[in-house]
């Protein structure tokens, strides 16, 4: 199976703006959306959901930003940076919604810059160091496939704001998944060295897959994507044995605190600064 075939299959149903997802942010996705919490929706649960999804996006965006000036080619550097910007945009909308409904009135900066590692609820896969290009691509493939499956379901959420954020994110995430799938096939079906590194990358992310399948029934969908890509790349399907603990309960790897220290340093040093 060629990587073109993988692209065509994974992009099915997302044809309109899939490749140009970077341009979907020019219109306000919340324009005209009622921001009142609907009857029957628990505001605390809604806020917690928004924060977890935002934390996933923020931490992933920070890791992708670390590829700036370091990617193998300029084109890939731009692509990874823009994928990170897509995720950063999702995080901002989700943090803002959390602050609207949790009763605190906090803004997005309060969530992003003034919480410690133990207060973050992102999945641990997102916080792992970038490693080589193959690892970052495989990690992005898993993350995008999983997040896209979530967001497709969230477009039907009873909260119209979260549903609108998810609808915008679906277009972006479809491209993220496609981009990562194409590269995973290219690397896996490339040289002996690129094949070895990509196989190792799947083995490295495998222990973190179990954490992804606890909150929503998306396992079969994500596994199907991974199986399609690994078969096209001539790679074995990763076998995962879930690690204990979960980032959703504040149990993180040793890598999150240094990442947040770099992300939050300026804001904490100048907490009242504006620019």
Whether 187 and 229 have beta carbons less than 8 Å apart is answered as no
Q: Return the percentage of the chain with pLDDT > 90, whole number.
A: 75
pLDDT at 147 over 80: yes
Mean pLDDT in residue range 101-128? 94
Taking only Cα atoms into account, the Rg of the chain, rounded to an integer number of angstroms, comes to: 18
For the chain, the structural domain boundaries read: 3-24+37-269
Both tokens assigned to 191: 């040289």
Q: What is the pLDDT of residue 22?
A: 40
> CA nearest 143: which of 128, 159, 163?
128
Do 82 and 22 touch, CB atoms closer than 8 A?
A: yes
What is the average pLDDT value for the chain, to the nearest integer? 90
Question: How far apart are alpha carbons 120 and 124 in whole angstroms?
Answer: 10
**pLDDT value for 28:** 75
Q: What is the pTM of this model?
A: 0.89
Query: Residue 7 pLDDT more than 80?
Result: no
Give the model's pLDDT for residue 274.
77
| Residue 18: per-residue pLDDT | 43
Superfamily of domain 3-24+37-269: Ferritin, core subunit, four-helix bundle (1.20.1260.10)
Please give the residue that has the higher pLDDT: either 250 or 21: 250
Helix (H) or strand (E) holding 97: helix 74-101
Residue with tokens 């990587």: 3
pLDDT digits (tens, 9 = 90+) for 215-259: 668 999 999 999 999 999 999 998 877 788 889 899 999 999 999
By C-alpha distance, which of 193, 44, 202, 186 is closest to 136? 202
Position 243 scores a pLDDT of 82
> Rounded to 10 degrees, what is the CA torsion of 171, 173, 177, 183?
90
Phi-psi region of 152 (alpha: psi -120 to 50; beta: other; left: phi over 0): alpha
Mean pLDDT of 260-274: 91
Least confident of 74-83, 152-161, 214-223, 248-257: 214-223
Q: What backbone torsions phi and psi does residue 245 show, to the nearest 5 degrees?
A: 85, 175
CB 147 within 8 A of CB 180: no
């Amino acid at each position: 199976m060629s990587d073109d075939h993988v692209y065509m299959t994974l992009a099915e149903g997302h044809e309109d703006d899939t490749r140009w997802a970077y341009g979907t942010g020019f219109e306000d996705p919340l324009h005209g959306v009622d921001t009142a919490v609907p009857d029957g929706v628990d505001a605390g649960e809604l806020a917690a959901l928004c924060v977890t999804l935002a934390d996933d996006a923020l931490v992933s965006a920070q890791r992708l930003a670390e590829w700036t000036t370091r990617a193998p080619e300029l084109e890939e550097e731009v692509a990874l940076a823009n994928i990170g910007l897509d995720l950063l945009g999702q995080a901002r909308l989700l943090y803002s919604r959390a602050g609207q409904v949790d009763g605190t009135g906090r803004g997005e900066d309060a969530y992003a810059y003034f919480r410690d590692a133990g207060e973050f609820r992102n999945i641990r896969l997102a916080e792992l160091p970038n490693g080589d290009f193959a690892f970052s691509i495989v990690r992005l493939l898993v993350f995008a496939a999983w997040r896209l499956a979530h967001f497709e379901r969230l477009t039907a959420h009873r909260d119209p704001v979260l549903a609108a954020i998810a609808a915008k994110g679906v277009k972006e995430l479809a491209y993220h998944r496609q981009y990562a799938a194409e590269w995973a096939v290219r690397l896996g079906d490339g040289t002996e060295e690129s094949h070895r590194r990509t196989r190792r990358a799947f083995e490295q992310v495998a222990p973190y897959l179990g954490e992804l399948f606890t909150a929503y029934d998306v396992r079969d969908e994500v596994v199907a994507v991974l199986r399609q890509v690994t078969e096209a790349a001539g790679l074995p399907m990763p076998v995962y044995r879930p690690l204990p603990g979960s980032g959703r309960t504040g149990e993180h790897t040793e890598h999150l605190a240094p990442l947040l220290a770099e992300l939050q340093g300026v804001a904490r040093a100048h907490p009242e600064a504006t620019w």
